[in-house]
Amino acid sequence: MRFSTRQAVPDSLTPDQEQLRAWLHRASQRDATAFRALYDATSPKLFGFALRILGKRELAEEALQDGFVAIWNGAGTYQGHLAAPMTWMTTIVRNKALDLLRRSGGDAEIDGHVYDSEVMNALQDPRANPIDALLVSRDAKALAYCMSTLEGMHRQVVGLAFFHDLSHSEVAQQMAIPIGTVKTWIRRSLERLKTCLAKGHQP
Amino acid sequence: MNIRDNPTLCDKLAAEYVLGTLKGGARRRFESLLRQDAALRRTTTEWQDRLMPMSEFSTSTQPRRQVWQSIERRLGLKRGYAAWQFWRNESLGFWRSLSAASLVLALLLVGVINSSLLDRPQVDYLATLTDDKARTALLLTGDRNRQLLTVRLVDHAPIASDKVLQLWAVPRDGVPRSLGLLPAQGVIELALTDAALGDDVAMLAVSLEPRGGSPSPDGPSGPILYKGNWVRVM
C-alpha cells in the first residue's frame, strides 16, 4: 500500500454538523485549537453571508469578528439539542451584521438587480443552476428547492427581507407594491416553505 | 394581546421574527416573551433551522487573515501556542528527555530492521513515536535512497470507528504537513520526499482526527496522541 505524501486537504467548506458540534463543545471548554478549527471551517460561509448583508468588506469583517467573539463567549450556552450548530452561529453573525447595518445608517446600498441575478435566479430552478456549486449544505439545498416552488415575486420579497433586514413597508417601497400585498406574500411564502420543508424534499 | 394560547399566531410571529420583518415594539415584546416561554423559544429555533440556511445562498468568501488575528487578540487566545505546537510549549526538559536509553533502543531497532525485517534496506532516518507515558506506539524508518517511509504501528490505544490517525511532519517553522492517514494496525509505506520530510523537520507527530483527516489547513484539529524526534541515524 502506498500513499501520496501530500494528503489533499479535506473539503472544509461543508463540515458535518457533528464535527461542528464537537468543536463548539470544546470551544466552550476554552479549547482555542478547536475554536480555530471551527473558525476555519465556517468563516468563509459566514463571511460571504455578512458580505451579502453589508456589501462592504470592512463592515463584513467587523461583523465576522464580533460574531466569533460572541460565539466563543456564548459557546457554553449553545444548546445542541435545540438548534443545529450552523444555525446558531449564523444567527449570531447575522445579528452582528444587522447591528452594524443599522449603525452605519443603512449605508450599505441594496442593489436589487445584482441581488436578483446572483441569488434569486439561482433559486428558480436549483437543478439547472449553480446552487450546487455554492457548496451548500443539505438543509440549504432543501430550502433552495422549496424556495424555487414559490412565485418569483414572493421569493424576492422573502429574500429582500431576510438579507437586508427590511420591514414590510421597506420591502413594499423597494418593490413598489402595496404593503398589504407584501404582508400577504410573506405570510403565504413562510407557510409554504414550512410545509414544503416538512415533506423533506430534495432537489 | 396574549399570544401564548394561540399557537398559529406564535408560529407566524416566530417566523417573521426570524425572517426579520417583525420590527419595533412588536419585536421587543416578542423578545421578552421569548425569555419567559420555552415553547415559543422552541418554535423560534425551528424557524431558525428552516430559514438560516438561506445564508448559504451567498457565495463563500475567505476572510482576510487579519480577521482571525483580531479575534485572537480580542479574546486573548494568543497565550502560548496552539495545542499542536506542543514542542514550543514544553520546556527544554522535553528535548533532554530523549534519553540515552531510548537512543540505544532506537539503534538496536535499526539493527534489527536492517538485518532482517526489511530485506536490508538502507535505513538512514528513524523515529519512535511515544505516548504521554513514553510508551512506544509507532516506529518509523526512512530510506532516502528508495524514498520510502515505513510506518509500523507497534501498539496504540484503540480508536473509535469514526476516527483516524493522521501522521504529521512538524517543521521548525510553519505549520505541520500531513504525511497521510494511518491504518488501524500493521505496516504502511509512504513516499519519502524532501518536500514532505526535508531537513527542516525535527519531529513527527500523530493526531486523532475525524474520518478523512484534519479539516484544518493549518495542521491537526484533534489531540496529539504520539510524537517523537525524527533523527538521522546513518
**Closest-CA residue to A64 (of A44, A36, A34):** A44
3-state SS, residue B171: strand
Residue B47 is predicted with a pLDDT of 95
Give the Å distances, CA to CA, from A79 to A74, A89, B55, B163.
Answer: 10, 12, 21, 24
Q: Which residues of chain B have pLDDT under 70?
A: 1-2, 79-122, 233-234
Nearest chain B residue to A123 by CA distance is: B57
Q: How far apart are CA A93 and CA A72, in angstroms?
A: 12
Contact between A142 and A200 under an 8 Å Cβ cutoff? The reply is: yes
Same domain, B103 and B160: yes
Q: How far apart are CA A178 and CA A154, in angstroms?
A: 13
* Helical residues (DSSP H) of A76-137, grouped into ranges: 85-103, 112-115, 121-124
Residues 20-79 of A with CB under 8 A from B: 23, 31-37, 39-41, 43-49, 51-52, 60-61, 64-65, 68-69, 72-73
Neighboring chain A residues of B80 at a CB cutoff of 8 Å = none
pLDDT in tens, A62-108: 999 999 999 999 999 898 777 889 889 999 999 999 889 888 775 54
Same domain, B129 and B173: yes
* DSSP structural state of residue A118: I
Beta bridge partners of B198: none
Same domain, B17 and B98: no
Nearest chain B residue to A193 by CA distance is: B50
CB spacing of A82 vs B188 below 8 angstroms: no
Same domain, B50 and B132: no
User: What are the cell numbers at B90?
Assistant: 514544553
Same domain, B116 and B183: yes
Burial class (CB in 10 A: 0-12, 13-18, 19+), A21: middle
For residue B2, how far is the Cα from the chain centroid? Answer: 50
Same domain, B50 and B90: no
Same domain, B225 and B133: yes
Element (H, E) at B17: helix B7-19
Torsion of CA A50, A51, A55, A60, to 10 degrees: 70
pLDDT in tens, A28-40: 999 999 999 999 9
B174 touches A at CB < 8 Å:
no
Name the residue range of residue B213's domain.
86-232
Q: How far apart are CA B7 and CA B170, in angstroms?
A: 58
3-state SS, residue B178: strand
Domain A112-198 falls in which CATH fold? Arc Repressor Mutant, subunit A (1.10.10)
Q: What percent of chain A has pLDDT over 90?
A: 42
Neighboring chain B residues of A15 at a CB cutoff of 8 Å = 215
Element (H, E) at B229: strand B224-229
Neighboring chain A residues of B218 at a CB cutoff of 8 Å = 36, 40
pTM of the model: 0.56
**Number of domains present in the structure of chain B:** 2
Same domain, B222 and B106: yes
Element (H, E) at A152: helix A152-164
Q: Report if residue B66 sits inside a domain.
A: no
Q: Determine the residue among A1, A5, A62, A92 to mutate to test chain B binding: the one whose Cβ has the most chain B Cβ atoms within 10 Å.
A: A5
Neighboring chain A residues of B190 at a CB cutoff of 8 Å = 2-3, 5
**Closest-CA residue to B101 (of B79, B71, B77, B130):** B130
Residue A27: CB atoms within 10 Å: 25
Beta bridge partners of B142: B125, B149
**Closest-CA residue to A27 (of A60, A62, A96, A74):** A74
Query: What residue has cell string 420555552?
Result: B38
Q: What is the CA radius of gyration of chain A?
A: 19
Contact between B222 and B209 under an 8 Å Cβ cutoff? The reply is: yes
Nearest chain B residue to A80 by CA distance is: B45
**Candidates B50, B71, B166; nearest CB to A68:** B71
Contact between B84 and B219 under an 8 Å Cβ cutoff? The reply is: yes
Residues 70-109 of B with CB under 8 A from A: 70-71, 74-75, 77, 82-84
Same domain, B39 and B136: no
CB spacing of A47 vs B67 below 8 angstroms: yes
CATH architecture of A17-103: Orthogonal Bundle (1.10)
Q: Which residues of chain A have pLDDT under 70?
A: 1-15, 106-136, 201-203
Give the Å distances, CA to CA, from B107 to B102, B127, B136, B219.
Answer: 9, 10, 14, 30
